[in-house]
Structure 1
Amino acid sequence: MATRLGLGLPQMRQYDLGKDVPDVARAAERTGYDSLWVFERALFPEPATQGLYGVEGLPWPDEYRNVAEPLVTLTLAAAATERAELGTSVLVAPLHIPFQLARALASLDAASGGRVVAGFGTGWSHDEYAAASVRPFAERGRALDELIAVCRAVWGPDPVVYDGDLTKIASAVVGPKPVRPVPILLAASSGKARRRLVDHADGWLPAGTGVEAVAAQWRQLRELAEERGRTEPIRTVLRANARHRASAPAGAGRRPFHGSVDQIVEDLAAHAGIGLDEILVDLQGAARDAEELKDVAAEVYEKVRAAGV
C-alpha cells in the first residue's frame, strides 16, 4: 500500500494568504496529495532570548518572522477543497484555551465533512509562553493533558460535563459536533510524552531527523504500546521540513529533505521504508512564491509515486 503524502500550506510572509492558500490547496488536491497541513509559530522574539527548539545558539529561521494563524489558514483550505484531510502539525496546546480550541476544531470538522486531524505539542518557546500561554511553561504537560480531555468531552455526547484545572463544564449542550471522532496525534519524543500518546492519543507526529533516528523512535513507541497493553493501531505522520534547491552536496553532510527534488524524493523513499502511514512534506520555506511551491510540490509528488512510494 502506498504511503500517504501530505503538503504543508503556505503560511509565511512571501505568500498572499487569501489568494495563495486556496490556490495551493486546490492544486495539491488535484495533484493527488492526501492531506494539507499547518504549523504554529506565534511570534518571533527580537533579540532572541532562546535558541530554536530551546537549543542554545541555534538561530530562529527568518521565515518564522511572519507565520499565519494555523486554523484560519486551514479554514481557507477547507473551503477550497473536497477530499484532502486537514491537519495541524502541530498546534502548541498551552497557547490555546481548551474549550475554545475544541469547539473551533469541531466546527471545522463539521464544515469540512469530517476531514480534520488534530496534532498537538507542548512547544518550547519561553517567549511564546510569556505572551500567550494559559499555563506556565513548567506545567505544559498538564495543559496538554487537559486539552486532550476537554476535546474528548466536547466532541462526545451531550450533556458535556468536565471538571478540570482550567475548564469547568457543569452540564451543557455543546455543538456542532465533529462528523466523526477527530483523530488526536501528538509530537511525542520524551518518555513521559510517549506514555501520554500511548494512553490517550490516536497517533504520532515525528519529525524527519533521519531514517535511523525515526526508526528507533518508532520501535520504542511500539514496544511501549505493547508494554502498556494498547491494542489500537498508532497512526503515524512524519513531518519532513524540506528545503528545495537546484542541487546540494551529496553525502553525510546533507540534512534530510534538503536539496534537489531528486534528493528530497530519495529521502522520502528511505523514510517511507520505515513503515509509516504518511509523510507531510513542507516545502513552503524555500519557495519564492505560490507558483514555485505548486511546481515543486507537483514534481515531488510525481517522482515519489514513480519511485513506488
Structure 2
Amino acid sequence: MPVTLGLGLPQLKHHVLGRDVAAVARAAEEIGYESLWVFERVLFPVPATQGLFGVPGVPWPDTYRGVADPLVTLTLAAAATERARLGTSVLVAPLHVPFQLARTLASLDAASGGRVVAGFGTGWSHDEYAAASVAPFDKRGAVLDELLDVCAAVWGPDPVAYTGELTTIAPSEVGPKPARPIPVFLAAAGPRAKRRLVDRADGWMPVAMGARELTREWRHLRELAEERGRTRPLDACVRVNARYSAKPYEGDGRQPFQGSVAQIVEDLVAHTESGVPGFLLDVQTTTRDAAELIDVAAEVYTAARAAGV
C-alpha cells in the first residue's frame, strides 16, 4: 500500500505569507499531497545562548530568522483547501497555554471539516523557553502531559472540568468541539517520551534519521506498544527536511534527502522500506520562492509515485 505524502507549507521570511501559503496549499492538494504541515520557531536569538538542537557550537540556520506563526499559516491553508489534512510538525507544547491551544485546535478542526493533526513536542531552545514558555525547561515533560490532559477534556463532552498545575477549568461548556477526534502525534525521542507516545498518542512524528535507524526505531516503538498492551494501531509521519538542488549532489558526504529530485526520491524509497506509513516533505529552505517550491513538490510527488512510493 502506498505511503501517505505531505508537504511543508511556506513559513520563511522569503515568502509572502498572505499570498504564498494559499497558493502552495491549493497546488499541493491538486498535485495529490494528502496533508499540509507547519513547524514552530518563535525567535532567532542574536547571539544564540546555545547551539542548534542544544548542540554546542552548531549555529542556527539563517532560515530560522522570522518563521511565520504555525497556526496562522495552517488557518490560511485550511481556507484554501478542501481535502488535505492540516498538521503541526510540531508545536512546542510548553510555549502555549494548554487551554487556549486546545480551543484553537478544536476551532480549526471544526472550521476545516475535521482535518487537523496535532503534532506536539517539547522543544530544545532555552531562548524560546525564556521568552514564551509557561513553565521552566526542566518541567517540559509535565507541561506536555498536562496539555494532553487538557486537550482530551476540552475536545470531549461538556461539561468540561479539569484541575492541574497550570490549568483549572471550572465545569463549563467549551466549544466549538472538533469535527471528529483530533489525532495526536508526538515527536518522542527518549525512553520516557516513547512510553508517553505508545500510552497516550495516535502516532509518532520523528525527523528523518537515515533508513536503517528509522527501521530500527519504528520496530522498537511497535514492540514497546505491544509490551505496554496497546491494542490500537500506531501511526507515524516522518518529517523530511530536504536540501534540494537542481543538479545532483556529486562526491562523498551526501546526506539523506540532499540533492536532485531523483536523489531525494531514491532516499524516500529507501526510507519507505521501514514500513512507516507516512512522510512529509519540506523543501522551503532550498527553493527560492513559492513557484519553485510548487514545481519541485510536483516533480518529487510524480517521481515518488512512479517509483512505487
TM-score in terms of structure 1 length? 0.99
Whether the 8 Å contact between 1:248 and 1:254 is mirrored in structure 2 is: no
1:30 corresponds to? 30
Whether the 8 Å contact between 2:249 and 2:260 is mirrored in structure 1 is: no
Residues 1:162 and 2:162 are matched in the alignment? yes
Alpha-carbon separation, structure 2, partners of 1:218 and 1:252: 28
Whether the 8 Å contact between 2:249 and 2:258 is mirrored in structure 1 is: no
Alpha-carbon separation, structure 1, partners of 2:135 and 2:251: 44
1:182 corresponds to? 182
TM-score in terms of structure 2 length? 0.99
Alpha-carbon separation, structure 1, partners of 2:62 and 2:109: 32
Alpha-carbon separation, structure 1, partners of 2:288 and 2:177: 39
1:51 corresponds to? 51
2:122 corresponds to? 122
Question: How far did residue 250 of structure 1 move?
Answer: 5.0
Tell me the secondary structure at the aligned position of residue 170 of structure 1.
strand
Gap runs ≥5 in structure 1? none
Question: How far did residue 216 of structure 1 move?
Answer: 1.2
Alpha-carbon separation, structure 1, partners of 2:138 and 2:154: 26
Please tell me the residue identity of whatever aligns with 2:272. Answer: A
Alpha-carbon separation, structure 1, partners of 2:242 and 2:18: 24
Residues 1:151 and 2:151 are matched in the alignment? yes
Tell me the secondary structure at the aligned position of residue 284 of structure 2.
coil
Question: How far did residue 246 of structure 1 move?
Answer: 2.1
Tell me the secondary structure at the aligned position of residue 165 of structure 2.
coil
Residues 1:218 and 2:218 are matched in the alignment? yes
Please tell me the residue identity of whatever aligns with 1:99. Answer: F
**C-alpha offsets along residues 102-151 of structure 1, whole Å, 9 cap, x if unaligned?**
00000000000000000000000000000000010000000000001100
Question: How many correspondences in the alignment?
Answer: 309
**C-alpha offsets along residues 229-273 of structure 1, whole Å, 9 cap, x if unaligned?**
111111100000001012344576211111000000001111111
1:307 corresponds to? 307
Please tell me the residue identity of whatever aligns with 1:191. Answer: P
Whether the 8 Å contact between 1:99 and 1:150 is mirrored in structure 2 is: yes
2:273 corresponds to? 273
Alpha-carbon separation, structure 2, partners of 1:66 and 1:155: 31
Whether the 8 Å contact between 1:6 and 1:281 is mirrored in structure 2 is: yes
**C-alpha offsets along residues 66-112 of structure 1, whole Å, 9 cap, x if unaligned?**
10000000000000000000000000000000000000000000000
1:137 corresponds to? 137
Alpha-carbon separation, structure 2, partners of 1:37 and 1:176: 23
Alpha-carbon separation, structure 1, partners of 2:152 and 2:248: 45
RMSD: 0.9
Alpha-carbon separation, structure 2, partners of 1:191 and 1:248: 38
Alpha-carbon separation, structure 1, partners of 2:284 and 2:297: 9
Please tell me the residue identity of whatever aligns with 1:144. Answer: L
Tell me the secondary structure at the aligned position of residue 220 of structure 2.
helix
Whether the 8 Å contact between 1:156 and 1:177 is mirrored in structure 2 is: yes
Please tell me the residue identity of whatever aligns with 2:153. Answer: A
**C-alpha offsets along residues 276-302 of structure 1, whole Å, 9 cap, x if unaligned?**
111000000111100000000000000
Tell me the secondary structure at the aligned position of residue 285 of structure 1.
helix
**C-alpha offsets along residues 205-237 of structure 1, whole Å, 9 cap, x if unaligned?**
011010011111111111111110111111100
Whether the 8 Å contact between 1:51 and 1:60 is mirrored in structure 2 is: yes
Whether the 8 Å contact between 1:10 and 1:17 is mirrored in structure 2 is: yes
With 48-57 and 68-77 compared, the bigger mean Cα shift is at 48-57
Tell me the secondary structure at the aligned position of residue 281 of structure 1.
strand
Alpha-carbon separation, structure 1, partners of 2:170 and 2:12: 41
Alpha-carbon separation, structure 1, partners of 2:132 and 2:252: 39
Alpha-carbon separation, structure 1, partners of 2:250 and 2:83: 37
Alpha-carbon separation, structure 2, partners of 1:76 and 1:50: 33
Please tell me the residue identity of whatever aligns with 1:294. Answer: I
2:197 corresponds to? 197
Tell me the secondary structure at the aligned position of residue 171 of structure 1.
strand
2:99 corresponds to? 99
Tell me the secondary structure at the aligned position of residue 146 of structure 1.
helix
Q: State the identity as a percent.
A: 69
Tell me the secondary structure at the aligned position of residue 162 of structure 1.
strand
Alpha-carbon separation, structure 1, partners of 2:81 and 2:246: 31
Tell me the secondary structure at the aligned position of residue 158 of structure 1.
coil
